[in-house]
Amino acid sequence: MFVMLEGWACRYKILPNGSRQIMAFLMPGDACDLHIKLLAEMDHGIQTVTTAKVAMITRDEMSAMMQKHPNIAAAMYSAQLVDEGIMRAWIVSMGRRSSIERVAHLLCELYLRALNIGLTMHGEFEMPLSQVVLADALGMTAVHINRVLKELRMLGVMALKRGSVTLLEPEKLIQIAGFDENYLHRRQRRAV
Amino acid sequence: MFVMLEGWACRYKILPNGSRQIMAFLMPGDACDLHIKLLAEMDHGIQTVTTAKVAMITRDEMSAMMQKHPNIAAAMYSAQLVDEGIMRAWIVSMGRRSSIERVAHLLCELYLRALNIGLTMHGEFEMPLSQVVLADALGMTAVHINRVLKELRMLGVMALKRGSVTLLEPEKLIQIAGFDENYLHRRQRRAV
DNA sequence: CGGCACATTGATACCGATCAATCGGGGTGG
DNA sequence: CCACCCCGATTGATCGGTATCAATGTGCCG
């Protein structure tokens, strides 16, 4: 079992026709359970998106720790629920949101997750994802992602720099995305 | 906490613009954990798709049972992993598969799940989903679902009757869908 | 300085949405 | 018992959002 310490990774799957779909982003603090291997062959891959620092925990260490510290077990379980909520939100995005809504929604999600782990500064946060990666996560083309980002920039809701995003008008972004932060179950760290 | 005994249900979310996205189908044997309520407000709804029979288990009963029978706890955990795999497969479908591939993939998934719980007969299984429900699950329009089903029928891979599907050429369907049953983690019940 | 990955922009094609009408069957009220 | 009604299925015509193809720009690194 792995835990991201620095940098980003993603879960992905390559289809027979060669296209890639990213199913989740792993940010610092996220656990990356490869235990799926035990059940059957892995049904998807995991790869880093940036250079990253990763902690490795053996199955034995993990179960020992979870038995000894029920709080940790509870936290892991809670994190799992959040991950599921994120997956459901992605399904909703891919199914029923337009491209600009999808992009806006992902930005909202990533910003709040960065906020939760203390990686934001005045509406700005690191987002080291190339447009190709964003496209593969959102089920779109890199070309079209580019146009959508341009539109969001022209609407004045955000600004892009190399590997970081600044939310200029968060309210507007939330409104475009139809974002409801409920599913991230943020209960602590309300401070900005 | 609930467990489906008979009939089907679904998890869904209604967007601000009124459209609905279904995120999962619950078939007999599936657990439907409403414990999410504990964390925050529910981020989605659950509703039956057919008339259904449902078992209700209190939180206390459940945790008592899981402590007393580790096998049950392990089975619940395993079922959870399968559910996550299904969600990831849905994300892949919505992001990178064409409409006919999506429909074919869902049929493969539902057929195998029906097979696992012993609800199939010679390639036929009950699928009590209206085209509107299918559309909301696949992120498409009911009109277009209809056309895709027509095409699958004309390709000779399946036949539709009221509330049931017959797979005439499973291999062809699997090939269209690019289906890999790995993620369902079927290890038992190999018999047809 | 050259190469390479990523970002940007334009022109065109196509898939699936949308709008609209008809059909079919099963249940209901008179 | 029958006419009506309503929901789901089906089909046609048209529109629009994204993909696709292609070319160019830009910054970083060796």
Q: Give Cβ neighbours of residue A34 (< 8 Å, ≥ 6 apart).
A: A1, A2, A42, A46
Whether nucleic acid strand C comes within 7 Å of the CB of A161, the answer is: no
Q: Average model confidence (pLDDT) for chain B?
A: 90
* pLDDT one-digit tens code per residue, B49-107: 999 999 999 888 988 998 899 898 888 888 888 999 999 999 999 999 999 999 999 99
Could you give the CA distance from residue B96 to residue A143 in angstroms, rounded to a whole number? 16
Chain D nucleotides covered by protein, CB below 7 Å: 8-13, 17-22, 28
φ/ψ (deg, to 5) at B10: -150, 155
What is residue B4's DSSP assignment? E
> Which residue from A95, A180, A182 is facing B94, i.e. has the nearest CB?
A95
Chain B residues closer than 8 Å to A91 by CB: 21, 23, 87, 90-91, 94
Instruction: Kindly indicate the confidence band of residue A3, based on its pLDDT and cuts at 50, 70 and 90.
Output: very high
Inter-chain CB proximity A88 and B87 less than 8 Å: yes
CATH of the domain at B27: 1.10.10.10
A2 bridge partner residues: A32, A56
* pLDDT one-digit tens code per residue, A127-140: 999 999 999 999 99
Structural domains in chain B (count): 1
Show the tokens assigned to A83: 């991950």
> Which residue from B43, B83, B95 is facing A139, i.e. has the nearest CB?
B95
Parent domain of A174: 2-191
B54 bridge partner residues: B4
Closest residue in chain B to residue A134, using alpha carbons only: B95
pLDDT, position B187: 59
Residue A191, pLDDT above cutoff 60: no
Show the tokens assigned to B138: 């696949």
φ/ψ (deg, to 5) at B152: -60, -35
